[in-house]
Amino acid sequence: MTTISSIGVAKRIVIKVGSSSITGANEEQLDHIVDLCVRLMKQGKEVILVSSGAIATASPLIGLSAKPDDLATSQALASIGQARLMGRYERSLSRHGMLPGQVLLTVENIADEQSSENASRALERLISLGVLPIINENDSVATQEIRFGDNDQLAARVAILAGAELLILLSDIDSLYTKPPTEEGAERIQQVSFGQDLSHLQVSGTSTGYGTGGALTKVAAALLATESSIEVVLTSTSNALSLDTQDVPHTLFQAKEL
């Protein structure tokens, strides 16, 4: 059975999943993500998960149906939701007899040399212990002025920090398209060569529900990662159940050659 070749070759893989993919009506997909991570780890691969979802998890608990506009409420929700979100991951991983390790990062943690070295050492130790590192932005202390802004960017920077060979961006759509896939004439792009001109694409940044970003942020994250010789696969979260066993619809961003 044909699979995505990059998954088979890569030793260290960073997987990123967004809020809308694991909360609300899609809560069951969290187990699918965990099952994918565990299968890859049992194949001898080193896996790091970057997961959004803290604010979306907390909002219903205090009666909110939309993402708050003010920073203080967002910070409070992140604090409440992160604990609940990690509890969900812990329960899911317990089905496999495994543990999660929470790592919350800020822009300063990545930019500062000493902090980034500390974060790198923590990730290495978690991996050596057979624990699944689960990373999110530390929204409880982040400010509007100094933050990653979306976890696609965070995932790319974590992949670079960790020396990963592959970054998998899980999304609501299965590939990169020439225009929004709901529009007539949209064509799926199977592969993006390193340095390929993408200026003709009709992609945009969006913020729907609790998620931020959209195709634009995923392309930006992919370009950042590929510049550091990390291949990037973009596909839908619904493909997580079979991502490592068959060739599902996806877009492959080829990395810069070392």
Look up the CATH number of the domain holding residue 49.
Answer: 3.40.1160.10
- Is residue 236, in this structure, part of any structural domain at all? yes
Write out the H or E segment, with its range, that includes residue 61. Answer: none
Q: End-to-end distance of the chain based on CA atoms, in angstroms?
A: 30
Q: Is the pLDDT of residue 206 over 70?
A: no
Question: Does any domain span residue 27?
Answer: yes
Q: Is residue 106 part of a domain?
A: yes
The per-residue pLDDT for 143 is 58
Residue 111 clears pLDDT 80, i.e. is over it: yes
Average pLDDT on 124-130 reads: 98
Residue 58 lies in a domain: yes
Tell me if 211 is assigned to some domain. Answer: yes
Note whether residue 173 is domain-resident.
yes
* pLDDT for 205 beyond 60: no
- What domain range is 239 assigned to? 5-253
Radius of gyration of the chain (CA): 17
Q: Is residue 258 part of a domain?
A: no
pLDDT digit string, tens, across residues 47-73: 999 999 998 999 999 888 777 878 888
Determine the Cα–Cα distance for residues 44 and 184; give it in Å rounded to an integer: 43
**Which of 6, 85, 53, 33 has its CA nearest to residue 242?**
33
193 located within any domain: yes
179 pLDDT exceeds 70?
yes
Task: Report the number of distinct structural domains present in the chain.
Answer: 1
User: Residue with structure tokens 């910070």?
Assistant: 75
Rounded CA-CA distance 236/233 in Å is 10
* Phi, psi torsion values for 78, nearest 5 degrees: -60, -40
How far is C-alpha 103 from the geometric centre of its chain's CA atoms?
14
Q: What mean pLDDT do residues 203-210 have? A: 53
DSSP SS3 for 117: helix
pLDDT of residue 226: 97
Phi and psi, residue 238, nearest 5°: -65, -15
